[in-house]
Structure 1
Amino acid sequence: MDLIDPSDSLERQNEKLQQIVEALMRKVEQSPDQTGLAYAQFERAAMLEEQVRQRTVDLERTLDLLHESNARFALARQEAEDARANLADAIETINEGFALFDHSDRLVLYNSRFCEALGDVRRQLSTGLAFDDYIALISGSADLDWKAEETPASWRKTRMRLHRKDHVVFNIRLKGNRWMQVSEHRTDTRGTVILQTDVSEIMRLERQERDKLVHKQALMLRATLDHIKQGICIFDHHRRLVGWNRRMEDLLRRRIGPTFRGGNFEELLDRLEDLFTYSGAMGKSDLSDWARIDGGREALSFEVLRNDAAIFDVFMQEMPDRGFVISFTDITQERQTSSALRELNETLEKRVSDRTIELGDALEAAKRANASKTRFVAAASHDLLQPMSAAKLYTSVLEDRLSSGSEHELLRKTTSALESAESIITALLDISKLDLGLATYDLTSVDLNRVFTTLFNEFAPLAKARGLDLRFVPTSLKVRSDQSYLYRILQNIISNAIRYTTGRKILVGVRRLGDVARIDVCDQGPGISADDQSLIFQEFQQLKKVRGDQVGLGLGLAIVDRACKMLDHGLDLRSEPGGGSCFSVSLKLSRRATPVQAPVKTPDMKTTTRGLLVGLVENDAALRNSISLTIEALGSDVLQSRSGEDALELYKELGVVPDGFLLDYQLGEGISGTDLVPALRDRYGALPIVIISANRSQQLHDRCQALGVALAHKPLSRAKIADFLVSLQNAE
């Protein structure tokens, strides 16, 4: 049995022990018992006193710890109150409205400037206000200036959708031409910080600058319209006349003053009915129906005749705002010239027809004469070749019988003369067939090595007799050609090389170039000048003889040229005086061709965007302005900067974040476009960025790829810029 209840506090336990000790001491002192029982009780009392002393020490230590904890808690509480006071003072000193909602979307802190521009909302703010109720208060404020198509309910829905994002910046339009920019950020503890900034002055300045730019553009457009030869008039989407040029007044022969300005399209058609007559099936009702179409009009082109016989080409086209523009072009002179040309053409056609008949008769006569000549040459060649062959047989018999002497030498020269005459007649026959297109051929797979072997067996003795080293490089290639004509082509080229070379070597080989085999015949002859290279392929053309035994009419290379054209073989000559000559014949390899697929065409897309803000950094003012105008024409806004440093300062000053960036690579002095990318990413995160440059080096391409940004080469087009804006729109 325990004397002390452990559940009691230390003070209570000590108090009980003290009472027990005092009671035991009194009992021992008053007891008459002299036995050891009294001493035992005294000893027990002493032990209990020691326990009381130990418990007292523990109690004092516990009290000290408690006092120390209370002191620390008081200090921490004071520090928290000081920090909260400092935070309140700090947010009170900033110029923007500030509010903090906790993770449960309850308002916990705000300064005096928060919702200052919304007086009716400001009076209802209090800590603990739910975010939904805050949005409801804003949407119901009388200070908001709603757009025509916007309602408080639709605004609340859009605002709550934006609230789900970690970071968002948008503008609110207020009555009195005021603007408030709202920037909302998510904290690490999933709370929400809202900053409200009055940007009315900035918006007014931006509008002033835009109005100046629009006015300047209007002046430029007006000057441009007044200096073109077409008459131009412009109608808005309500079919009212809103613009025209001086040329239009000249064509109408009347001033476009108060009577016409702002007039309806149909009324103007009625007023001009006595001035113009429509040509073809086009009429006033057709134009009126076209103008009444609510968008999606197809362009119209027709002609009208003015009452003084002047003719005008009229072109009507819809504009992006559903208005339309009409252009009048005076084509009277062109029509008169066309009429005169038509009459002249008819006269010329009659004369040409008569002359064509005469030339046809002459051509038929020439063809008949040429055919007769060809038939005569062919018949004469055939008739002459037979006695020539016979004469060669006779001379060979005589050559065997005459072993030596002057008669043998004479017979040898006679045989050589007969061979030359035979080759000349054969060449005449070949050239006549090629000229008339009577030659027939069959494209097959030809083994080049077999052709080389036959040519070597034919020319090797002749080359050896003349002390020439004739070499053929073996090959395994097969080409697509006519074997007979290919043999004749190479035969004529090699024969010329043996006949005209002054060196000691002639090399025949083939080189594969992709799907083509190129046969080269190279010699060490005197070479051919550039002026003479165009002559040697003509009939009956021979260069200055360098050997005394050269015989021929100069038809060999003419036959080569015509045969190559007929077989669609390439023929080339590389030569220079004193450097020898190399004739090349290019043929397709004999194998099945791979079909080529037609490229896929991408249709054009005309795109407009709305509500995007693009950060443009470009040091060239003209290009910067032109890109800006293009972006604005596509329906988006742009913040211009001439350098990376200016851009970072501008975005910080305005407190806005563009939806994407167009950065020039070379920005002059300061950081480059690629150097600006990390700074933007560190500040605004992974927003879309495009580097624009005329530099097409692989180094810049690799750099952009490493940064994870797109690269667009200059010059930029409207389509490229539109594609960039569409990508930004799709990313939202």
Structure 2
Amino acid sequence: MCGILNPEDPIERQNEKLIKISEALMRRIEQNTDAEGAAYAQFQRAAMLEEEVQERTRDLEHALDLLNTSNAKLAEANREAEEARSNLANAIETIQEGFALFDPDEKLVMCNSRFGLHMPDIRAAFVPGLDFHDYVQLISRSRFREHADSEAPEDWARGRLERHKDDHVIFNVRMIWNRWVQVSEHRTPDGGTVIIQTDVTDIMRLERQERERMLDDQARVIQATLEQLNQGVCIFDAQARLVGWNQRVGELLSMPATLMRMGIRFSTLLDRFRDDISFTDGTTIETVEAWVQMPGGRPPVNFEVKRGPMLILAVTAQEMPDQGFVISFTDVTAERAAVRAIKDANEMLEARVAERTLALKEALSEAERANASKSRFVAAASHDLLQPLSAAKLYLASLEGEGESPVVAKVSRALESVEHILDALLDISKLDIGKAALHEAPVSVGTVLAQLGEELMPVARQKGLDLRMVSTSAVVRSDPTYLRRILQNLVSNALRYTDRGRVLVGARHVPRGVRIEVWDTGPGIPEDQQQAIFDEFRRLNASASAAEGMGLGLAIVERACRLLGHDLTLTSAPGIGTCFRVTLPLHDGAALHPEQAAPRGWNAPRNLGAELVLLIENDADVLRALTTILEKWDLSVLAARSEAEAHDLVDEVGVAPDAIIADYQLDDDRLGTDAIASLRGRLGPIPACIVSANRSPELIAACGKLGLTLFPKPLEPARLAAFLANVEAST
């Protein structure tokens, strides 16, 4: 039978052949009857063929049933898939943000109606099948995206495609009409891309308002500082509009109050004085106007002008980072009068002496013009600002032990904030002009960390943070003052930006050095801003007020490390935390810097045992405050406001003091070092110290030569107590 039928034929074809064979056999049986039973055999074979036909028919019917069932299931699956697709489309349509899905081949699969809503000029092009590269090109050329003047659409598209290589990307796109859209891009498990667009205009506006409020606070601090300067200062923005000034500039220029107003242009002010001033060094009005109109990168300029018959002003103009500029005016009439007098006297000398004198005058004049602005600022800030601050701190110290007062505590914290800000401004000024005095010595890292831990632990507890200082016996070579300032700024910065978790500070030994690390669990710093945080007045996500800092801490750290030759590195991960590392050289076998043993803070020992202290201070407030503290320590005080008065008091009591405390800058152009030298010449080698806001290398050298201890203002009472305790112990 297998030879008659082909198994590969369809069942219908095989049934057709079997029917034909059955009919042929039946006809043979009917036509040719075999006496030996051949006809019966043929009939039997026909019956078997009939059964096989029936069996094949049943198989065919079963196969058809299975096919129908499969078709029904396929139709149901298609219906469910279509329903799921419809549900997905409805779901993403209900999302408030714009949503788009690209497949692994970078083709647009689907998007909702809000996707690209902010760019109606290209919205119609967002259809399934759109290539991601073409999508970016459309965005880069949309007239609704705000284009930076210095950035071409091709550059923006190139940067956008570069960021597309990351698995997760979040950035903001600025639109026209001062609107912002945040774009979140995430990779799917199969290699596709999901893009979500969120309108963050309201958030950006709130952040801008908060930033403007913080800038207002900083502006008040800066204005207060400007008013303390002896120079007249005007600040102009990038459009040459007046944005800040002090009263001194109005006095020097006789500027009417109605003219000095916010937003007035430089050209208007210049026209007001065009006929009232004359230049004394070859500079012209046109030169000044050309400098102001330069597009950027303006070099500092210095010149002198004469106003009226007598007044001579030294003028310094310098560009700011935002392409605005600052102009300062210094009254140099007396100096120039002295120079003229010397010149008139030297004209009577022989020609060679006159030539040399003229060359010297020109050199001195050039040096004065180059350094007048910053030198006068540092001097004024050091003495005029720190002097009353020192008196206030001393008065607060005198209240110790008279009962707890929340008002006194708040005033103390406010003064400390002002002191920190002034110290930061002075430090950044010195570091920038290269006048910071360095005194490298062996420093115990463990001692510095322990002192910082005691000082900053209350701040950590107040925020609920775990501050840990890992002890170490490492001794490094560095400037003790600046090293402490570096670590204090790093730890304070970590505490300020960390809301929960801990701050860990420790030291690791590295080849030929020690690496101090400050770890925190704060918000982290994005990689594109890790260099910018070392700029002045830069604070990221800071909720602190201006009283807690002006964004100078890390700028001081970077400049101090650079000046000391200490390697400073930073690693950070957003959402995880940050680590600052400072690498210092090891120091072998020398005594530690004595400053590390000095106590800090307001608490000071009582009953020092000294009999008599001679105090020389020309400022009445500081004199009274320091006298009050010394008398509370059971010391007898001879309070003098000048060197002559100090000699008279010693003559009056007839007893040499056990110690001398003298301010550096006294009246009548006398110095505290001179007064101490004079008193020692009469009374012998009395232990003495100098208190001054002056931090110049010359003063430090002078104190070292005379064997004097130097205390910076504002004075720490506890350090003074330690000095007097050592004096008593040596007597």
Give me the TM-score of the superposition, normalised by structure 1.
0.43
Tell which structure's C-alpha radius of gyration is larger. 1
Q: Which has the higher contact order (CA 8 A, sep 6+)?
A: 2
TM-score normalised by length of structure 2: 0.43
